[in-house]
């Protein structure tokens, strides 16, 4: 009387799930397969290529070694890290039927759902690795920068897991826009300081030159690097840009590759949003290895904000990773290390440069980039929320907008392409951004 | 040089996962197995037992019929609902190794992780069902109340999925404490009004009698019921208390039962937090069926707030479900329908009464109840966050505190019990509560 027909028909499969035993045992190091390696990082004083030992005062040894490793294609994931991955991994690969139907596209759209991480984003993949290595090397304190707070929240939890003290410099505009991420970091026991702060020389220099500075990732990196290099037994950790961070993120693509096989498809187009490159690399590099080694034809699209367009409008040259010039010189597509990004809500994408590997791949036309305006990103993100149920992080909205653009292109041309994008995180702690979008008071530049 | 030993050892299993094909095809109706059925709901005017038809003006027909169904043990889940369940179900059953180790308990602690729902809580299980049935009956508008906003957010999304307009009355104190949940509802296209409001007679009466009324679930229900019953083609939906809501939530326990079998264990103790009873019933009823039909010895513990203690200190009698006395009379453990709960952060537990089924089960000593003070709930929640990585909803913190209490009892007595609790939701949108707890400014009563 109450119910639907008693015969339950087979549903179309929405999610492609792997058991814990399929959590990758090794990360993929794309440098072992690149025909054109990135140019070396340079010591900012001597302009000589950096050796791993030159980085040991800044990063833990394991990550310094990984940073320069161009030989080992596969790097074992420590069991302690893999065990912590099992708290939420493997993450689902999801077919976005709801979004496809709303767009009326013949394309098949899949997304890798990294938002199911307890912290809400992919950042934990590298945070756990970096905190673990530090703990193994007897380091007691770690520090970092964070924009929107996804990385800072992940590192705060990872530090707690491995018994480390953690100090985070959060970009001031995000600290104010997203107070809950600060609260998350504090709940995990971290100290959080809005950046620029008066607690470092770098912060003081910036604040005295520019009293109302809203902060940027480049500035916050300077502060964290200064703290790490002037504090005994303290190391710096970074949430993107560097090779070893992208390396740790390759669990995303390695899982996705197996899951696409479960779905019986292979992506024609792989898309991720782009801040420093680790989210993009994490999804794309495992697929790119087939392009590099077997010539597989796949398009790889990095979606960056139009207001911070290093890939589409930046210059390829050596530049610093931070505003104050503390870091090694990195060969990168850059807007200049003193570039002041607009106050968009996608705090994780407000960075002036691209990692060395991704920059080289773009230079060699192996990947593409597209720039997305803030309003277009939220339009796509809201459509995704209403059709797939998940409110995406402002950063992830850029990937969604790029995927929507490609799917609509398929519709126009009647093409049944397979599109895969990374849902790097959810936006439940970014709701003020959606408020602003819905109220019509959002601009493309955050002004 | 960089890596851990190359031989990957088998990890202990953290999560027990079911494929989509194992999403339950039917809900479990415990009334078909109860020896002592709940006394009937009464018409508030005639004091005659309510018939399903008497509810049709308030609820959709399907839910009204389910509400009074004491015969059918299994109710088919409509395929359209089950298909939407596949967006995130089955949810993981997780072994809380991190928590166990922190407590040093011999007990095995498992939790069902309903926080992975896109909305962040179990509420979507019933919201999708109710919205679907309304859409099938040609209803265009639905309305409801919400406390913390978990139910309101779920219903807003469900309404969007099935093409309905949705209006939500949110308890004022939660509307102010948790602004992001309001934003979530708005992102899904719902209209949100803080309650008590001046838009209904019930709201006006309360606000004129008590101008600074902070709101309660009972008040918000009155407003939503009034809107539903005075608006053409509009129906009321409820997020807990009623039998059909608990029915829809039994997917939690039905999955958990299979997953406990995968883990090779069976729970000695089943725990869930308690507002109106649907979260508790959702987990407990499928296990209780073995107690009712086979005499299986399991303890079932409802964890309620000490400041809203209907189960531990309430009276068993007929009472209204709402403050203004619009609803049928329900046989319930109650603090009185005009009880004003303290302003604790667990907005979803600020309700004066318990559902009829759970009340009967408590009366018959088939289940137990425990009251948890707010500070103890957050202490347990923070320990859980730091050991399991997931920041729990304030409501769920009550279940965690009860589980911790049982696990510590096991430690004292050297007992290796198996404890299962429901992590009904995450607390990422409740971070202001954690701020207050961490700053030492939280009290047990919210004052």
Q: Which residues contact B275 (CB under 8 A, 6 or more apart)?
A: B147, B217, B240, B304, B346, B348, B349, B350, B351, B395
| ipTM greater than cut 0.90 | yes
d(CA A105, CA B208): 54
CB contact under 8 A, A8 and B79: yes
Q: How far is CA A42 from the centre of its chain?
A: 24
d(CA A336, CA A190): 31
Query: Is the distance from CB of B322 to CB of B276 less than 8 angstroms?
Result: no
A301 pLDDT above the threshold of 70: yes
Q: What element of type H or E holds B371?
A: strand B368-372
CB contact under 8 A, B79 and A4: yes
3-state SS, residue A369: strand
pLDDT digits (tens, 9 = 90+) for B242-257: 999 999 999 999 999 9
- DSSP assigned state of B426: B
Q: What is the mean pLDDT of residues A322-334?
A: 94
Per-residue model confidence (pLDDT) at position A1: 36
The tokens of B16 are what?
């027990």
Q: What element of type H or E holds B178?
A: none
Spell out which residues of chain B touch residue A20, defining contact as CB-CB under 8 Å. 11, 13-15, 17
CB burial class (10 A; 0-12, 13-18, 19+) of residue A443? middle
d(CA B203, CA A63): 60
Q: Which of B12, B120, B434 sits opposite A428 (nearest CB)?
A: B120
d(CA B12, CA B31): 39
Concatenating the DSSP letter of every residue in A38-93 gives PPPPB-TTT-PBPPHHHHTTTS-HHHHHHHH--S-SEEEPPHHHHHHHTTTPSPPE
Chain A nearest-CA distance from B77, in A, is 7
Q: Which residues contact A413 (CB under 8 A, 6 or more apart)?
A: none
Per-residue model confidence (pLDDT) at position A174: 86
d(CA B87, CA B80): 12
3-state SS, residue B96: coil
CB contact under 8 A, A75 and B120: no
d(CA B323, CA B314): 16
Confidence of residue A38 (pLDDT cuts 50, 70, 90): very high
d(CA B197, CA A38): 62
d(CA A427, CA A433): 9
Concatenating the DSSP letter of every residue in B298-317 gives -EEEEEEETTS-HHHH-EEE
pTM: 0.95
Please tell me the class of the A122-241 domain.
alpha beta
CB contact under 8 A, B183 and A382: no
A6-10, A256-260, B323-327: the lowest-pLDDT one? A6-10
Q: What is the mean pLDDT of residues A350-377?
A: 97
Spell out which residues of chain A touch residue B3, defining contact as CB-CB under 8 Å. 72, 75-78
SS3 content of chain A, % helix, strand, coil (to 5): 45, 20, 40
> Do A93-120+244-439 and A122-241 show the same overall fold?
yes
CB contact under 8 A, B391 and A79: no
Q: How many CB atoms lie within 10 A of CB A412?
A: 8
Chain A nearest-CA distance from B172, in A, is 19
Per-residue model confidence (pLDDT) at position B148: 86
CB contact under 8 A, A434 and B3: no
Q: What is the mean pLDDT of residues A253-257?
A: 98
Q: CB-hemisphere CA count at 13 Å for B162?
A: 27
Spell out which residues of chain A touch residue B98, defining contact as CB-CB under 8 Å. 87
Confidence of residue A447 (pLDDT cuts 50, 70, 90): low
Spell out which residues of chain B touch residue A3, defining contact as CB-CB under 8 Å. 26, 75-78
Chain A nearest-CA distance from B113, in A, is 11
| R_g of chain A, CA atoms, integer Å | 21
User: What is the rounded average pLDDT for all residues in chain A?
Assistant: 95
Architecture of domain B93-120+244-439: 3-Layer(aba) Sandwich (3.40)
Q: What element of type H or E holds B165?
A: strand B165-171
CB contact under 8 A, B79 and A438: no
Give the orientation angle of helix B201-209 with respect to helix B217-229, to 10 degrees: 150
Which residue shows structure tokens 């367009």?
A: A309
d(CA A94, CA B86): 10
A409 pLDDT above the threshold of 50: yes
What does each of the 447 residues of chain B score in pLDDT, given as a tens digit? Answer: 334 444 445 789 999 999 999 999 999 999 999 999 999 999 999 999 999 999 999 999 999 999 999 999 999 999 999 999 999 999 999 999 999 999 999 999 999 999 999 999 999 999 999 999 999 999 999 999 998 899 999 999 999 999 999 999 999 988 988 889 999 999 999 999 999 999 999 999 999 999 989 898 888 999 999 999 999 999 999 999 999 999 999 999 999 999 999 999 999 999 999 999 999 999 999 999 999 999 999 999 999 999 999 999 999 999 999 988 999 999 999 999 999 889 899 989 999 999 999 999 999 999 999 999 999 999 999 999 999 999 999 999 999 999 999 999 999 999 999 999 999 999 999 999 999 999 999 999 876
CB contact under 8 A, B76 and A8: yes
CB contact under 8 A, A87 and B14: yes
Per-residue model confidence (pLDDT) at position A432: 92
Spell out which residues of chain B touch residue A438, defining contact as CB-CB under 8 Å. 186-187
Query: Is the distance from CB of A304 to CB of A370 less than 8 angstroms?
Result: yes
In angstroms, what CA-CA distances link B242 with B148, B239, B321? Answer: 19, 8, 9
Q: Which of B65, B86, B120 sits opposite A1 (nearest CB)?
A: B65
Per-residue model confidence (pLDDT) at position B447: 63
Spell out which residues of chain B touch residue A378, defining contact as CB-CB under 8 Å. none
Q: Is the dihedral of CA A185, A187, A191, A195 positive or negative?
A: positive
Spell out which residues of chain A touch residue B55, defining contact as CB-CB under 8 Å. none
CB contact under 8 A, B20 and A13: yes
d(CA A81, CA A77): 7
| R_g of chain B, CA atoms, integer Å | 21
Which residue from B441, B353, B445, B429 is spatially nearest to B394, judged by alpha carbons?
B429
Chain A nearest-CA distance from B36, in A, is 23
Domain extents in chain A = 93-120+244-439, 122-241
Per-residue model confidence (pLDDT) at position B5: 42
Which residue from A221, A229, A235 is spatially nearest to A62, judged by alpha carbons?
A235
Spell out which residues of chain B touch residue A128, defining contact as CB-CB under 8 Å. none
Q: Does a cis peptide bond (omega within 30 degrees of 0) precede residue A179?
A: no
d(CA B367, CA B380): 23
Q: How many CB atoms lie within 10 A of CB A315?
A: 11
Spell out which residues of chain A touch residue B179, defining contact as CB-CB under 8 Å. 431
pLDDT digits (tens, 9 = 90+) for A372-388: 999 999 999 999 999 99
Q: Which of B86, B161, B184 sits opposite A431 (nearest CB)?
A: B184
Q: How many CB atoms lie within 10 A of CB B395?
A: 32
Which residue from A377, A421, A413 is spatially nearest to A96, judged by alpha carbons?
A421
CB contact under 8 A, B183 and A389: no
CB contact under 8 A, A180 and B429: yes
CB contact under 8 A, B2 and A65: yes
Chain B nearest-CA distance from A25, in A, is 7
Spell out which residues of chain A touch residue B17, defining contact as CB-CB under 8 Å. 17, 19-20
Give the 3-state DSSP-derived string for A375-417, with helices as H, strands as E and coil as C: HHHHHHHHHHHHHHCCCECHHHHHHHHHHHHHHHHHHHHCCCC
């Amino acid at each position: 009387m109450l119910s639907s027909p008693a015969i339950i028909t087979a549903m179309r499969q929405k999610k492609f799930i792997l058991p814990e035993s399929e959590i990758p045992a090794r990360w993929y190091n794309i440098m072992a397969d690149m025909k054109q390696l990135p140019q070396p990082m340079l010591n900012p004083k001597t302009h000589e290529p950096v050796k791993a030992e030159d980085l040991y005062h800044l990063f833990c040894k394991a990550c310094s070694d990984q940073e320069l490793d161009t030989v080992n294609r596969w790097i074992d994931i420590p069991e302690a890290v893999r065990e912590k991955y099992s708290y939420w991994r493997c993450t689902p690969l999801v077919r976005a039927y709801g979004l496809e139907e709303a767009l009326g596209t013949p394309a098949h759209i899949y997304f890798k759902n990294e938002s199911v991480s307890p912290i809400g984003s992919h950042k934990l993949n590298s945070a756990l690795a970096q905190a673990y290595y530090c703990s193994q090397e007897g380091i007691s304190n770690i520090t970092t920068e964070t924009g929107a707070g996804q990385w800072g929240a992940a590192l705060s939890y990872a530090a707690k897991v491995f018994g480390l003290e953690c100090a985070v410099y959060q970009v001031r505009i995000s600290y104010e826009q997203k107070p809950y991420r600060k609260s998350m970091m504090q709940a995990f026991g971290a100290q959080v300081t809005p950046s620029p702060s008066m607690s470092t020389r770098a912060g003081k220099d910036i604040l005295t030159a520019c009293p109302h500075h809203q902060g940027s990732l480049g500035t916050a990196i300077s502060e964290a690097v200064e703290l790490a290099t002037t504090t005994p037994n303290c190391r710096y950790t970074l949430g993107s840009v560097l090779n070893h961070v992208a390396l740790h993120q390759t669990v995303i693509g390695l899982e996705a590759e197996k899951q696409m096989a479960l779905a019986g498809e292979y992506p024609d187009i792989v898309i991720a949003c782009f801040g420093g490159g680790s989210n993009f690399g994490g999804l794309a590099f495992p697929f790119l290895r087939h392009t590099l080694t077997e010539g597989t034809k796949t398009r790889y699209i990095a979606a960056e904000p139009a207001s911070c367009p290093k890939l589409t409008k930046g210059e390829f040259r050596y530049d610093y990773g931070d505003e104050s010039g503390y870091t090694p010189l990195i060969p990168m597509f850059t807007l200049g290390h003193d570039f002041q990004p607009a106050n968009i809500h996608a705090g994780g994408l407000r960075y002036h440069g691209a990692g060395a590997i991704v920059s080289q791949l773009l230079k060699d036309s192996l990947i593409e980039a597209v720039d997305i305006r803030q309003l277009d990103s939220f339009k796509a993100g809201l459509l995704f929320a209403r059709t797939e149920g998940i409110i995406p992080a402002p950063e992830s909205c850029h990937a969604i907008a790029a995927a929507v653009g490609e799917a609509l292109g398929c519709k126009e041309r009647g093409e049944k392409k397979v599109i895969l994008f990374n849902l790097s995180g959810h936006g439940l702690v970014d709701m003020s951004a959606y408020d602003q979008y819905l109220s019509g008071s959002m601009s493309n530049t955050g002004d």
